[in-house]
Amino acid sequence: MRRGRILIFVLLIVVIGLVVAVVALRSFVLQPAQPTAPANVDVYVAGQNIPQGEKITADVLATKTLPQNLVTADMYTTDQKSEVLDNKIASIPLSQGTFITKGAIVDASQAVAIPGPSWAAVIPPGMVAASVPTTRFSLAAYGVADGAHVNVNACFQFVDIDSQFQSILPNHTAILTGTGAAQGSLPILSLGINSGGAPTTQGRVELEPSLQQPYYVVPSEGQRSRTVCQTILQDVVVMKVGNFPLVSSSQTTTQQQQAQQQQPVATVPPDLVTLIVSPQDADMLDYMVYTSAQITMALRNPNDQSRQATNAITLQFALSQYNIPVPAKLPYETQPRVDALAQPTLPNDAAPTPAK
């Protein structure tokens, strides 16, 4: 009886041990291993726009963290800092955030000289840089700076001309008289002179309504031009406000960059602005400059890439669009007489300093 109890107890221990062994085997041996997350690696990227040929220095670099499995063999990690900064220059233009790869930088001693100025490398293919004269007013009170996005507006003045003479109307008149000589002699052309001694201008015949008598009307002044303003170009990138630094063609690219960085800050107001435009738009800018159109730039948000259709502004459009009435001719008027609008002088206006 006692032996039977001992045997049962031993069998129970063996069974419990087998159960524990099976559970342990499933938990630690048969269960698949959990995948481990790949380690992160810091790689070098361009911390700012790096022109082609510029020397790679620590201040133009930044780092970006990537999983180890996304790091390619041509990238540079932070462990390879000396390889990146060891007398290397950019072999291609690098935009901010671009990964620094072995194909993007080369040793300065093996670099091929880049023709032309270094800033020409930032002009996109198919585009050109064109300059136009500018003022404080046309630069939005100097709110337009390098890299800004602008709309280019222009105002033109039109006059009527004689299509054959290509001269402004009205024409001057002349009197054609005969010579009084033999038949076949040429007539004499004499210029009509009015009482003031000036040439007579071409006018028109009108009928006086009260007396029903014709009379000849001549203009009291020269022809007034007609103005029209319109948005010509939209979302144009400003390459440079003011002058580029003067650099000798014999200087290397690195010297050009150093000369540009050492250029003193301009204290003279800029009188030129350089825009990045298509070749066709560059021709239009030249046409506007040489026909004395008034060009202004409206500053816009660089993230706004929309285009809006605009109406050309003429006197007729302004009156109708903005509901501006033409004043009626009244039998009374304000005093004193005002022939031209002028800015009022305010008490806080700075008094001009007399020249010494």
Residues 260-285 have pLDDT tens digits of 555 555 468 899 999 999 999 999 99
pLDDT of residue 162: 94
> What string of pLDDT tens digits covers the 356 residues of the chain?
566 677 777 777 877 877 777 777 776 655 555 666 668 888 888 888 887 778 888 888 888 888 888 888 888 888 888 777 788 888 777 888 888 888 888 887 665 566 677 778 778 888 999 999 999 999 999 999 999 999 999 999 999 999 999 999 999 887 766 555 555 566 655 666 666 666 788 888 889 889 889 988 888 888 999 999 999 999 999 999 999 887 654 444 455 555 555 555 546 889 999 999 999 999 999 999 999 999 999 999 988 889 999 999 999 999 999 999 999 999 999 999 988 888 888 888 766 665 55
Pair 130, 270: CB distance under 8 Å: no
40-112 has CATH 3.90.1210.10 classification: yes
Pair 28, 230: CB distance under 8 Å: no
CA 290 – CA 265 distance, rounded (Å):
30
Query: Hey, how many other C-beta atoms are within 10 angstroms of the C-beta on 173?
Result: 15
Q: Which of 35, 100, 89, 117 lies closest to 64 in space, CA to CA?
A: 100
pLDDT of residue 236: 94
CA 299 – CA 295 distance, rounded (Å):
13
Q: Which residue ranges make up each domain of the chain?
A: 40-112, 122-158+225-321
DSSP letter at 108? Answer: G
Exposure string for 257-286, b = 16+ CB within 10 A, e = fewer: beeeeeeeeeeeebeebbbbbeeebbebbe
